Amino acid sequence: MKKLLTVVAAAALLASCMQNRDQILKVYNWSDYIDESVIPEFEQWYEEQTGLKIKVIYQTFDVNETMLSKIEKGHEDFDVLCPSDYIIERMLQNHLLLPIDRNFGETPNYIDENLSPYVRDRFDKMSGGKDNANDYAVGYMWGTTGILYNAKYVTDEEASTWDVIRNPKFADKIFIKDSPRDVFSQIIIYLRHDDVLAGKVTLDELMTDSSDDALEAVEAYMKQVRPLVAGWEADFGKDQMTQERGWVSLNWSGDAVWAIEEAEEMGVDLRYSLPKEGFAVWFDGWVIPKFAQNITAAKYWINFMSRPDIVIRNVDVTGYVSVSGAPEVLEAFIDEEKYEPIDLSYFFGPGADSVCVNPVLYPDKADIERSTQEHDWGDRTPELVAMWSRVKGENANGMTVVVVAVFLAALVAIAVYTRVVKKKKSRGRKR
Ligand code: SPD
């Protein structure tokens, strides 16, 4: 899929050289995060709604930080991006975003018609300085961070705690998201569990604790985990799990939904847990960066992505769950034969307090009550990034030392061998 998107992007880029910039929309989104067939449909719909032609150039990234640096440092002219909550906060605080105008003329405003009150409230609580995140960002998908595990090797009990990633039984079968913020959040929740129970600190307070103590504690913990890790991944972990190369994966709910469904077809029993210590809920949202060149098409893109039929297709293909609280979206995911009733009233309203929906896709209200949300760390962010590279870097350093040692040993062996051969030859000539 990535290759295809790259080819499409390259072709579009070429075509763009011959087009006006106002006929181009540059979208920068996470990989594996859309039903590709909606892209040409948007082009057609946009022309129907506005009478204007548009060509979408669609590019993808694996982690927030790659995307952010293209905007912050590179000032690239993407028209619409999809950062996570804490990056939206950062971009707002650094005045990198434009407000999203909701005037669509005759076209319905799907954004505000359908947005779940739960998501609106979470965006209200983002710290964007004096700006409200709801004016600058429109939710796309949301979810949880949890443990995806193979029930053949890992018990439900073992997977009910974050500490499963430090269990030596699963050495070399553990995949961890290469997302420092997400890993940090879950591990600090695990490490401070007793303090949370004792009322000394709340989960929300832990999300803004960027102190040296917190960083050191997570670093020490992750260094114990590191020798057990088979891979740090941004999107290949789900495949590793379906193919049973991994048994435990610290992962996002959308990857888990996708992997569980794929695995089911192969007779592999994958499950997803939200550990008892608590966990973070995350939100990814569309924003228009200040370097955007086609603001009109960008806002129409965001509106189109909020249209219920498009929402349902994107959820179906990616496994991730939309921020849309539209009744037809809920209807599309009800399956009374497969799932037990859960309470989704917090998301879809009072009528949804007992609906048979996949709880990995939409967490039950009781689970949401054990959750928190990540926030920007401002100028402490580099400390987190440095900690993360020390955690992962030791792997590479260890390997580098081995490779260099083997290489040097080989050089010495060749030199000794050459000398011995030369000596033998010269002795032979003397005789
Ligand atoms: N493959 C698309 C994954 C997008 C998931 N976003 C999660 C962000 C958590 N901070």
How far does the centroid of ligand 1 lie from the alpha carbon of residue 252, in Å? 7
Query: Using CA positions, which residue lies closest to atom 9 of ligand 1?
Result: 282
Considering the domain architecture, whether residues 315 and 400 belong to the same structural domain is answered as no
Q: Write out pLDDT tens, residues 117-149.
A: 999 999 999 987 788 999 999 999 999 999 999
Considering the domain architecture, whether residues 114 and 96 belong to the same structural domain is answered as yes
Q: What is the pTM of this model?
A: 0.87
Nearest Cα residue to 218 out of 18, 40, 384: 384
Per DSSP, the residues of 197-247 read: HTTSS-HHHHTT---HHHHHHHHHHHHHHGGGEEEEESSSHHHHHHTTS-S
How far does the centroid of ligand 1 lie from the alpha carbon of residue 421, in Å? 60
Considering the domain architecture, whether residues 200 and 309 belong to the same structural domain is answered as no
pLDDT at 426: 62
Residue 357 included in any domain:
no
Pocket of ligand 1 (CB under 6 A): 30-33, 84, 179, 182, 235, 252, 282, 284
Say what the alpha-carbon torsion angle 298, 321, 118, 332 is, to the nearest 10 degrees: 100
Residue 160 included in any domain:
yes
Residue 349 included in any domain:
no
Residue 379 included in any domain:
yes
- Mutation test residue for ligand 1: of 5, 33, 371, the one with most atoms within 8 Å of CB: 33
Considering the domain architecture, whether residues 220 and 268 belong to the same structural domain is answered as yes
Residue 10 pLDDT level (bands cut at 50, 70, 90): low
Q: Give the count of domains, the chain.
A: 2
- Mutation test residue for ligand 1: of 62, 65, 84, 90, the one with most atoms within 8 Å of CB: 84
In this structure, are strands 80-81 and 24-30 parallel, antiparallel, or unpaired?
parallel
Considering the domain architecture, whether residues 267 and 377 belong to the same structural domain is answered as yes
The CATH number given to whatever domain includes residue 164 is: 3.40.190.10
Q: Where among 303, 327, 351 does a domain terminate?
A: 327
Residue 341 included in any domain:
no
Considering the domain architecture, whether residues 149 and 254 belong to the same structural domain is answered as yes
Considering the domain architecture, whether residues 47 and 190 belong to the same structural domain is answered as no
Domain that holds residue 76: 2-142+288-327
What distance in Å separates the CA atoms of residue 232 and residue 235, rounded to the nearest whole number?
9
Q: Where among 305, 327, 349 does a domain terminate?
A: 327
Q: Write out pLDDT tens, residues 164-218.
A: 999 999 999 999 999 999 999 999 999 999 999 999 999 999 999 999 999 999 9
Considering the domain architecture, whether residues 71 and 210 belong to the same structural domain is answered as no
How far does the centroid of ligand 1 lie from the alpha carbon of residue 235, in Å? 9
Residue 195 included in any domain:
yes
Structure tokens that stand for 132 in this block: 């409200």
Considering the domain architecture, whether residues 270 and 256 belong to the same structural domain is answered as yes
Largest distance between two CA atoms of the chain: 103
